[in-house]
Amino acid sequence: MAKATAKVAEAPSKKKVKATAPVSILKVTETILEKLKTLNMEPALQSDIVWCLGSYRHDKNPAGLFKMAEKALMVFKSELAKKTKGVTAKFVGDIEKALASR
């Protein structure tokens, strides 16, 4: 009897879809603080964000970061309407994504 050769069927290769990484509220809040400092805007909000970042690093409770991001979002939306240099729609969108990730 002759040996039958068995063909091994290969599964078609699947393309990996690159998933968008969730936006971290910590990174977004740090970026907000940098942007506020760069544009020299809202010193009271800057100090509140610094305090909330320290609090978050101590207890890992992001409630204050979300609250400060909401305040900053209102500031940046108004600056975006004024077309302030340095405030982009993508930046505002990143803040909104981080807030939606609650």
Is 17 part of any domain?
no
What pLDDT does residue 66 have?
97
Domain residues for 78? Answer: 25-100
Is 62 part of any domain?
yes
Is 74 part of any domain?
yes
Identify the sign of the CA torsion 71, 73, 74, 75: positive
What pLDDT does residue 17 have?
47
User: What mean pLDDT comes out for the span 62-79?
Assistant: 97
Is 19 part of any domain?
no
Nearest Cα to Cα of residue 100 among 8, 15, 25, 35: 25
Question: Cα 59 to chain center, whole Å?
Answer: 20
User: What mean pLDDT comes out for the span 13-32?
Assistant: 73
Higher pLDDT: 99 or 6? It is 99
Is 5 part of any domain?
no
Number of domains in the chain: 1
What pLDDT does residue 2 have?
63
